[in-house]
Structure 1
Amino acid sequence: MGIVFQLKAQITKEFKVDHTRGYGLVHLDFNVYKGVTHIKKGMGASPVHIFSKLSKVNILPSFSQEIVSEVLYTQLVHRNVESENLGKSLSYKLFSTTNEDFDHKWDIEMNSNFLYDLHLNFGIGKAYLDLSNLPVSNCIIKTASADVKLDYSKKIANSVKMDTLMVTINMGSLDAKNINFSNAKEMFFEINYGTVDLFFSEPVSERINIHTIVGAGKVSLELPAYDQPFIIKVKSTPMCRTNIPKHLKDIGNKTYVSKNYKENAENLMTFTIDVSVGSVTIK
């Protein structure tokens, strides 16, 4: 379903999934080349409700929904038809200071009564995700040069086990807060150029692996309480500066463990951090 309003060279368009039965999983594929995106739990009955405000548009987004083998596949795609060259794309990234500089705005609301498999692709811009109170089995995020802020602001754990939480950014930043509440078995964070800030506000109850790779940039990791068993393996070059707190024990080969570390601990957190050029700071 689509509703279009045009006001002062801006198009407001609404997309809504009209199926509420006949499936057990919602596969959301959201792919936009530019804009500021907010994703959160909504109040409506629809599993996916997207509001957009678009400017300078040559083509409208395409939206589809289909139920196959008890899975709802829903997709929104908005491609770049403005023929922006690389220089212009970089100028958006390097010199934009307000949300309006990215032309488009996207608000996605989801319903806590449905299980989600999220595949999100952002081009240029910013993305704000608050997955509090949303059951998510997978969350895959990719961006060209969009900054990503991921949070569980309500500090309520994901009600299902998440298989994989993955964020891949070409140029930009990741600010991830309270991600211990994601309930993810595996976390992958990879940035070619930029910064990664990871904040684990509380201990976890099961074993998880966290992989962070940065080509050039900074990694900042804030660990949970001291009684959480964890091991941190740092892979770095002479062009990477590391700051390790004194309460961690150095066991050699740039590997550090917490006071309560046990190799067979049921709630062991294993961190692998790989930075070629830049810095690693652990708090």
Structure 2
Amino acid sequence: MFKELNISICLIIFVAISSEAQIRRHFEVTEQDGINLVSLNFSSYKGAAHINRSYHGVPLFVDAELGKVNILPSFSHSLIDGVLHASLEHKNVESESLSKNLSYRLFSSGDDDFDHKWDVGLDPNYLYDLHLQFGIGKAWLDFSNLPVSNCIIKTASADVFLDYASQVSNTVSMDTLGVAINMGSVYANDLQFSNARLLMFDVNYGSVNLTFNDTMAGPSQIHTMVGAGTVNIKLPPKDLPYLVKIKSTAMCRTKVPFSMKKIGEKTYVSKGYSKGAENLMVFLIDVSVGSVSLE
């Protein structure tokens, strides 16, 4: 009898732990009329986040699967003068040690390693101004066919993967696309589809990996700053107009394509370079310790 009782108690505890470890939350904005801009502030101290196009017909759709939590996310939204202000914040009230943060950084490989999962859906019928903040984890963003006027991403120790998987351009001109990472890496593909005027990538410790298969529709500047780490950029075809200026120290190795012409101190131009080109791209690269590889 005592054995059966112990088994029952263990099963109850297991179910309680399992249910506690799988907390699901859904957040949604149903307003659809009178919205000229969606200003989204999303902040999570830990997790694996996916942000992309949604097919739910609403300006904002968020599904969260939360592991062991000490506080639930807070969500609010309001419509003021045509701007939908939406805020989702998930704080951590328990500090984690530096060694634990480093173990996440070095040994985590899958979504389950970060306790929480986020699925954020954006609708192509609305214009977005995005301010995204991630603590520890990974963030996958696919902005294919989404009108984004600004996007600022900040992370403490999270890798960022930005893509235009459907090869469909931003339907509006983006003013600024910025990514700032303390410890981690950014991987951004087909950035010509961002249609951005200013792109800024700032990493203290880690790497910046960018690919461009064409130029923007208009002039653009790409600022890349790394304290210690690597910069890898696949440049547009050599017959397109762009200029590259590198600022580096003796502790930084640099690799530049042979097809580029040197016109000044660590300054190079493509074969298609023209100072007055309407779609001129200017790459400004600053690395203290590490390497720069252009191809």
TM-score (norm 1): 0.96
Partner of 1:61: 73
Partner of 1:193: 205
Partner of 2:86: 74
1:210-225 matched pairs, under 5 angstroms: 210-225=222-237
Equivalents in 1 of 2:237, 2:21: separation in Å?
52
Q: Which of the residues 10, 14, 30 maps onto 1:18? A: 30
Equivalents in 2 of 1:180, 1:203: separation in Å?
6
Q: Which one has a bigger Cα radius of gyration? A: 2
Whichever structure has more strand as a proportion of its residues is: 1
Partner of 1:141: 153
TM-score (norm 2): 0.92
CA RMSD across the alignment: 1.0
Partner of 2:50: 38
Q: Using a 3 Å threshold, how does the CA distance of structure 1 residues 147 and 98 change in structure 2: closer, same or farther?
A: same
1:76-115 matched pairs, under 5 angstroms: 76-115=88-127
Q: Does 1:152 align with 2:164?
A: yes
Q: Does 1:261 align with 2:262?
A: no
Partner of 1:49: 61
Q: Which stretches in structure 2 are left out of the alignment for 5+ residues? A: 1-17
Tell me by how many angstroms 1:205 deviates. 2.6
Structure 2 counterpart of 1:136, which letter?
V
Tell me by how many angstroms 1:8 deviates. 5.7
Which deviates more, 146-155 or 199-208?
199-208
Tell me by how many angstroms 1:202 deviates. 2.0
1:111-122 matched pairs, under 5 angstroms: 111-122=123-134
Structure 2 counterpart of 1:78, which letter?
H
Count of residues in Structure 1 that have an aligned counterpart in Structure 2: 278
Percent of paired sites with the same residue? 55
Tell me by how many angstroms 1:30 deviates. 0.3
Q: Which of the residues 183, 188, 201 maps onto 1:176? A: 188
Aligned residue for 1:155, secondary structure, equals coil
Q: Which stretches in structure 1 are left out of the alignment for 5+ residues? A: 1-5
Aligned residue for 1:134, secondary structure, equals coil
Whichever structure has more helix as a proportion of its residues is: 2
Partner of 2:3: none
Equivalents in 1 of 2:143, 2:109: separation in Å?
26
Which deviates more, 67-76 or 86-95?
86-95
Partner of 1:167: 179
